Chain A
Amino acid sequence: MIKLWAAVVGFAAILAAPSAAMAQEKSAVRPGFVLKPGSAKILLFRPKISVGAQSTGGMFEPNADWTAQARENLSAALDEAQAHLGNRVVAAAEPVGPAAQTLAAYQSLFSVVAESVIEYQFFKGNRLPTKKRKGEFDWTVGPGVAALGQGTGCDYALFLVTDDHYGSTGRKVLQVFAALARVPVAVGVHKGFAGLIDLRTGDLVWLNADLQMGGDVRSQAGAAKRMGQLLADFPGRPIVTESSSEGK
């Protein structure tokens, strides 16, 4: 019995199942939504960025230096990409008191809504009956979100989340040996999502979620590529940064 259990746990640890991202849609825009180019002022909330290594056994090894680099690189890449679009991105100030509570609550709510979109709309096999109509994209965090934009003059709020586990040397060696034994071992986790919320209505107007992203966020060029992917299909107009084309 214990052996069986151990085998199960071990199997999971080794495989770290390749994600089901293949069969999945990656982005959607609310029907009828258009962002006039060069017009929007966008409020950016502190991106959730986590960068580290993946140990031989598949554990996440958080790395503070890489995360700090990624934060800097992604911020610069975002400014550049939005300048291309003609939009202005304003980093939100860290509020205090009740405003901080409201912001924390909306950040959590955004994560929950974004995860629900990925699970119940982007993943076709699991699509909710109310989300099945073609072209439908109807998600909201509620009009209360307007409180976050008060006094900033911003029309939209942008949320960014990235999570990167870079395969360690040990993990890569394990992958090679495992491949000889015909056992698939996944190296690395590179997930990210970005969403745009209308600050007047609370509607989620655009969401892009990719569970297998490219671009090494630890370098400036890689971060620019990652940002290009995160902002692919950003409403307004097609993004032109060359690095955003294809390839992971």
Chain B
Amino acid sequence: MRIGRSLAIAAGVAGSALTPSALIAETKPTLPPYAGAYEPQTVDERGVWMQADEDERGLRDSQFLINDPALSAYVRAVLCRTVGADRCRGVRLYIERVPAFNATMAPNGTLRVWTGMLLRLRNEAELAAVLAHEFAHFERRHSLAEYRHNRGATDVMAWAGLIGGAVSSTVFNAALLSIPAFSRAEETEADMLSARYIAAAGYDVRCFADVWARLMDEADATALGRHQRSRRYDRVAFFASHPTNLDRAIYLRDFAARQPIGGDTGQDAWSAALTPWRAGLLADQLKLNDFGGTEYVLGQLGADGWSEDLLFARAELYRTRGNPRDLVTAANLYRQAIAIDPAHVDSYRGLGLALIRSGDAESGRAALRRYLYLAPGADDASMLASLLS
């Protein structure tokens, strides 16, 4: 069992009348969990912290971490500006190389940020919103409350399931549905608390709702590309742990509309910190084999103008799908990337391969020769050289 709250994208109805959490006597902790050298208090809290500590031991030495001092310092600085220096001190930040949109917070203050999220966020205010959301889970001890709620609910379910009969089955269903409902209530609470944090930190509050709007569009694009039915946003699945992205976009817009206009988006600082990483993050995204979703993400990133790394990534996307028409599109995109940056080495490689595959062997070989001239020590140099002979 993994205990921790996440930001995950999920479809999710307000729940039942039964609240097994009422069965649990809540002791009021004396210190907040982010206080320096805080020790968990009750048996339950000590238990969930122990699990989180064990998980963190493995995470700390994981080969999937991006241990870059500059990037980590930037993300931490955004968290500290948002929630305050005294609060952020109790948080350990880990940036994990996972090409999907998520961040999670364990009850002991382990904050995980996935690189797929860094690729998709557009500015510092959006990052601040997500980090503040995770911090809110930690501050309010949501993992612990959820664990206690679920234990109470499954206890009720065990007895109701055993006793049987019409009344019991109603109780059973109510207890079952209270589990995701409890989780969704926590998510909404964390969303609202984080919206207040980013407003207080001077960030533009409207950004938070945009995040959810874009995620819905991306999910639509992925579904379309895979010929699947898109998720529905107007109805909530019974077992969804999170409110729908549409719900989140709506209540966050509503909150933002009541705040004064303006606020900082932190666009420049965001670009400066993330631009060096973008090519690598795009390469990971391309490996997901999600044509529709990736095309959408690229379109969003290119909304303010297409740079060579975006053009190259889009060209790679088309070249790897590999229909004859895709190769033509890809070759054009590589040429556009080269036009912007004549030293963009990888574009010559892609252009060469796309042209050879399209039957234009002569131009293709010329492009590959250019690649090998610019990058003689490349890993695939000898393999590509064999295409030239």
Contacts and interface: CB of A to CB of B under 8 A. Distances in A.
Interface of A: 2-3, 6-7, 9-11, 13-14, 48, 50, 52, 55-65, 67, 100-101, 103-105, 107-108, 170, 174, 177-178, 181, 183
Contacts, number: 92
Contacts of A2: 173, 238
A62 B161 contact: no
A105 B43 CA distance: 32
Interface stretch (B46-54, B68-76, B362-370): B46-54
22 contacts: A9-B176, A10-B176, A13-B157, A13-B161, A48-B54, A52-B47, A55-B154, A55-B155, A56-B155, A56-B159, A57-B157, A57-B158, A58-B158, A59-B1, A59-B150, A59-B154, A61-B151, A100-B61, A103-B61, A104-B58, A177-B162, A183-B162
A101 B176 contact: no
A44 to B, nearest CB: 16
A174 B172 CA distance: 15
Given A10-B172, A11-B161, A174-B159, A67 B61 contact: no
B169 interface: yes
A67 B58 contact: no
B259 interface: no
A3 B169 CA distance: 8
B61 A13 contact: no
A22 B162 CA distance: 26
Secondary structure class of chain B's binding surface, majority of residues? helix
Interface string B37-57: 000100110111111001000
B30 interface: no
Given A2-B238, A64-B49, A174 B158 contact: yes
Given A14-B158, A63-B47, 12 more contacts: A3-B169, A6-B172, A13-B161, A50-B51, A55-B155, A57-B154, A59-B1, A61-B151, A63-B43, A101-B61, A174-B158, A174-B162
A58 B154 contact: yes
Query: B interface, how many residues as a size bin?
Result: 20 to 34
Given A101-B63, A178-B162, A62 B154 contact: no
A105 B158 contact: no
B382 interface: no
Contacts of B158: 10, 13-14, 56-58, 174
Interface in B1-59: 1, 40, 43-44, 46-51, 54, 58
A175 to B, nearest CB: 10
Interface of B: 1, 40, 43-44, 46-51, 54, 58, 60-63, 150-151, 153-162, 169, 172-173, 176, 238
Most chain B CB inside 10 Å of its own CB: which residue of A2, A10, A61: A10
A19 B300 CA distance: 50
Given A2-B238, A13-B154, A61-B47, A104 B62 contact: yes
Contacts of B155: 55-57, 170
Given A11-B161, A104-B62, A57 B151 contact: yes
A57 B153 CA distance: 8
Contact of A104 (B1, B40, B63, B153): B63
Contacts of A103: 61
Contacts of A50: 51, 54
Contacts of A62: 47-48, 50-51
